[in-house]
């Protein structure tokens, strides 16, 4: 699968949070998120391992009982089933890989 950058489309997930599913295969899905300042992703858990990198902006990730202040270039891996949340301190762009692919991100 190949998707040129100029063909990205986004959809709203939460207030101030947009998702673009970049590409996916049998075992992984690559997603890009845009977060507006103050946007929050509430505490949730899912059966997908989630590995990410912050490309721009500042966010706070919360998992394992710890707030992780992230800036450009910082990365993380959140185990499947682990409760976690995020909030944007400033406008941010995040890229994450989910394994296995998230069915809810395919539509």
Domain 11-102 has CATH 2.60.120.10: yes
91-105 average pLDDT score: 97
Q: Is the pLDDT of residue 67 over 80?
A: yes
Note the pLDDT tens digit of each residue in 12-55.
999 999 999 999 999 999 999 999 999 999 999 999 999 999 99
Residues 19-45 as b or e (16 or more Cβ within 10 Å = b):
bbbeebeeeebbbbbbbeeebbbeeee
């Amino acid at each position: 699968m190949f998707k040129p950058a100029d063909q990205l489309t986004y959809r709203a997930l939460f207030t101030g949070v947009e998702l673009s599913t970049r590409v996916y295969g049998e075992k992984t899905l690559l997603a890009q998120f845009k977060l507006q300042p103050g946007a929050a992703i509430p505490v949730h858990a899912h059966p997908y391992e989630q590995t990410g990198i912050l490309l721009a902006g500042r966010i706070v990730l919360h998992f394992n009982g710890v707030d992780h202040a992230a800036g450009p270039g910082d990365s993380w891996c959140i185990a499947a089933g682990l409760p976690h949340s995020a909030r944007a301190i400033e406008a941010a762009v995040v890229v994450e890989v989910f394994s296995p692919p998230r069915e809810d991100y395919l539509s």
